[in-house]
Structure 1
Amino acid sequence: MFPELKNDRFLRALLKQPVDTTPVWMMRQAGRYLPEYRQSRATAGDFLSLCKNDAFACEVTLQPLERYDLDAAILFSDILTVPDAMGLGLYFETGEGPKFKHVIRSAADVEALPIAKASDLDYVMKAVTTIRHALNGRVPLIGFSGSPWTLATYMVEGGSSKDFRHIKGMMYSQPDVLHALLNKLAISVTDYLNGQIKAGAQAVQIFDTWGGVLSGPMYQQFSLMYMRQIMDGLIREHEGRKIPVIMFTKNGGQWLENMAATGPDALGLDWTTDMAEARARVGDKVALQGNIDPCVLYAGKDVIEREVAAVLEGFGHGTGHVFNLGHGIHQFVDPERPKYLIDAVHELSRPYHETQYDDLDALNGVE
């Protein structure tokens, strides 16, 4: 049994239920911009040691909550834990990002690839449970995974890429091979996310970081179709509560209607999509998460507050909005700046919710 949840406005907003103020969290909120994170990472030895030790993963997950009035915590892990569990040998080169010892380039490679199970990632499940207990009901815990397409890009390219020549080459010349890979990944991701939910995650997000590099038809066939497969297999209620699902395709604003039709509770938006336009297009079907440019956090307090106000005005009155950056926070941001943003969201958004509640105290975790 986990402690009772005290602040559930994040979950309420995802389910388009009334809230007293717009909830806010930040993608990559536990990261290198925080000096305490850098110290934890140095103590652990390296990034993967942070991820694979539940005590360290818990420590860094909670660090931003000690600084800021956030409405959600997100599991500290990495999207590439799934292909690592499939035997590809994940490692990190200083200054070069993630790499794999083994890459996927042929039908034989895909055929030999095992499907990963949640039990193969027991250290992640242990971290989820440890974090959930340590939160003591303060805020909900978000679990996550990369999308099949995004994971496949790293597996086929062997690491990060600027032109995606290997995976796009496979997509056009060996589509059946890529479909077989994506199907294995969709099965793996579904079990992985369900494992996180069973371990204590109260919402989950699918990060489709590289879906936006595809053309419209290719996005439908090679990214969205497999996220729909995951949606169809996810646990949507646990511990007597609904488990909201957020789908985020970076640079995917042109496909919002198609994304909403797959069944998520919320869509994440990057900063290239206008919030008012997005709400007009899909806001009656799903909640929206986002979408301020992370670079705003290099500006001063007045500018940050002005940009927060613009996003809030874009969404307008009513529930169904979770405030977030349009992508992860940058490592060079001054740690004082996120506080300006978070406090501004809570303060400036209250007028947009005033007509929803006669008694705002009813929001404190009470159904």
Structure 2
Amino acid sequence: MTLQTTTPAVQQKIGYRYVKYTFFKVDPAWRKLSSEDRKSSKKQFLSSLNQSEDMIRPRSYSLVGTRGDVDFMLWTITDSLETLQGFHSDLLKSELGKYLSTPYSYLAMLQGTCWVEVSLRLSLHEKERMVQHAVRGEKENNERPRANGPKISLSYHTHVVLFRHRRLRVHPIVRNRSSRRLPQPRHGSENHRSEQVYSPGDSCFHLPQRSARENAGPAWAITQETKSSPLTDFENDNFLRACWKKETEFTPIWFMRQAGRYLESYRKVRAKNDVLTICKTPELAAKVTVDATTELGVDAAIIFADIMLPLEGIGQSFKLVDGVGPVVEKPIGRMEDVKTIGKFSPKDHVPFVTDAIELAIQQLDGRTPLIGFSGAPFTLASYLIEGSPSREFTKTKRMMYAEPEAWKLLMAKLSSMVSDYLLAQIRAGVDAVQLFDSWSGCLSPSDYQEFVLPFNKQIFERLKPGGIPRIHFGVGTAGILKAMREAGGDVFGVDWRISIDEAWAILGLVAIQGNLDPAILLGANELVHARSSDILARIGGRLGHIFNLGHGVLPDTPPEQVKNLVQFIHGTTRTKR
């Protein structure tokens, strides 16, 4: 039974546990405090949580992107109602507590019979055997044992919860980044993370005993309505908040080709390695990713990689030629060529990308979110068919028009590959993904609808259960924005060929990213500030804007100009909040 905390006190019962889950809303005035005051109030608040760990076992979760009326949720679990109520009262008296309201707060009682606590007198080996028997040996309705069930890591502080009834239980689920890896499908099932992470019928869940600060990291909402939403907590979460159209401290900004030849730190690495070597060496890819993020002071990192990388896994060899770009060794032209394309396996073909993601996450250490990405099917197909970068895409369109069946098969294979590639990046821990459909702007609206939209839509639908922001980007796409919106995405990147307010009017109720011409950064500061101010004026303070260029940073861009733009956007928009 669940009770509102505003009702009369519940009579304490022996053998019961009491769980209070409270939703907090942060007053926008708190974000206007100085950085030092905010940091101090957060530190005091987290210290209060940690000090009560033994009695209350608090679990805190950010709700960014899942609810618009609250900011975070706090679980508290104890055997004493008095302790529970006193703890919450003290929290609201803290410096941060003065800026908190509690729109929703509930109290639940857990019967002791729902819990099986492993005796501390058992050896670790005996505990493991007990849990493995529960997880692997239990059969239900004559089904096969779940050999790929949850992996349990036990310690002397572990509580094991056995669910033997198919009904909802109140319990916290705590996870860190490593648990972003999607479970393997069960017995050939195509289910993804949202269908497997939470199930009332599963045998066991591990409730780690960790500090409140650690538990403030990524986690899964537990109700069936929000079970697919990942929750995040960063020192700078403005990028993710903007993706979900929530209030931010300032307009977030990051850049495509953030780590590139315009940076001295990148050139030092590049002087000793070619681009593919950097991409395929996780330590180097992570280094240039994090170095650029730190040096520029941007609000999101993007993993260093190349959109062509997964193509090698399906048997399509290529080279990256300086001054030219990707050059495919054996371009595709007909159905016979398409049929030779192999099956893609992220684990076998791009392990260096996921390894680089994990290393970058460690080095970023919660400072900023990390973006993963892939080329879109049309853009990748154009390279495979043309053989190298093209302006007219004549060969690509010839296959579309003259061999539609070959085109559909090629796009279907590439769509599957891209989906698997991005899902692998989500497993590795990225906080958002961007689909680069860089060359789809060469298509008419009707051609995009017929030859591209269905395949991009499949990708976005497969990514949706991941619950992280999905960015849909293209160049020269003013004429197909409405169709791109139909294909899917949570954030849409637009270039400078359309004013950002016009683009947003076409796209509707989504977040938007852009849209300064990269060449503007080759000009004087006054020009950069004027054009950037015009974009901000067109946004008009609406929620959901991420400042970016309309394409990647140009190699000749002065790095100080990029840093200046970051500082200008932060400073200008912070004063208006």
Query: If the length of structure 2 is used for normalisation, what is the TM-score?
Result: 0.59
CA distance in 1, matches of 2:275, 2:453: 30
Q: Residue 176 of structure 1 is aligned with which of 396, 405, 414? A: 405
- Tell me, which stretches of 5 or more residues in structure 1 are unaligned? 355-367
What's the offset of the Cα at 1:255?
2.2
**Match for residue 311 of structure 1?**
535
**Match for residue 363 of structure 1?**
none
Structure 2 residue 510 is matched with structure 1 residue 286: yes
Q: Residue 63 of structure 1 is aligned with which of 286, 291, 304? A: 291
| 2:448–2:483 Cα contact (<8 Å) kept | no
What's the offset of the Cα at 1:114?
1.1
CA distance in 1, matches of 2:503, 2:321: 38
Q: Residue 275 of structure 2 is aligned with which of 40, 44, 47? A: 47
CA distance in 1, matches of 2:400, 2:288: 38
**Match for residue 346 of structure 2?**
118
CA distance in 2, matches of 1:66, 1:134: 10
**Match for residue 88 of structure 1?**
316
Say which structure is richer in helix: 1
Opposite residue 282 of structure 1, the aligned amino acid is L
| 1:210–1:249 Cα contact (<8 Å) kept | yes
**Match for residue 328 of structure 1?**
552
Opposite residue 407 of structure 2, the aligned amino acid is L
**Match for residue 302 of structure 1?**
526
Partner SS for 1:138 = coil
| 1:9–1:19 Cα contact (<8 Å) kept | yes
CA distance in 1, matches of 2:322, 2:483: 38
Correspondence 1:204-283 to 2 at 5 A: 204-237=433-466, 242-283=467-508
Opposite residue 126 of structure 1, the aligned amino acid is D
Q: Deviations over 1:236-275 (max 9, x none)?
A: 43xxxx3000001211122222222333111001001111
The structure, 1 or 2, with the larger RCO (C-alpha pairs under 8 Å, 6+ apart) is 1
Opposite residue 303 of structure 2, the aligned amino acid is L
Q: Residue 26 of structure 1 is aligned with which of 235, 255, 267? A: 255
| 1:13–1:287 Cα contact (<8 Å) kept | yes
Aligned pairs, how many? 347
Correspondence 1:146-185 to 2 at 5 A: 146-185=375-414
**Match for residue 193 of structure 1?**
422
Q: Residue 365 of structure 2 is aligned with which of 117, 136, 141? A: 136
**Match for residue 431 of structure 2?**
202
Partner SS for 1:50 = helix
Partner SS for 1:271 = coil
User: What is the aligned-residue RMSD (CA, Å)?
Assistant: 1.4
| 2:445–2:483 Cα contact (<8 Å) kept | no
Q: Deviations over 1:312-363 (max 9, x none)?
A: 11111231000000000100011110011111111112355x2xxxxxxxxx
Residue identity (%): 39
Q: Deviations over 1:6-49 (max 9, x none)?
A: 11110110010111110000111100111221110122x21100
CA distance in 1, matches of 2:452, 2:253: 27
CA distance in 1, matches of 2:397, 2:373: 25
What's the offset of the Cα at 1:280?
2.5
CA distance in 1, matches of 2:396, 2:461: 26
What's the offset of the Cα at 1:149?
0.3
Partner SS for 1:7 = coil
**Match for residue 358 of structure 1?**
none
Q: Deviations over 1:266-301 (max 9, x none)?
A: 100100111111222334x21000000001101111
Larger of the two Rg values belongs to structure: 2
CA distance in 2, matches of 1:207, 1:152: 13
Partner SS for 1:291 = strand
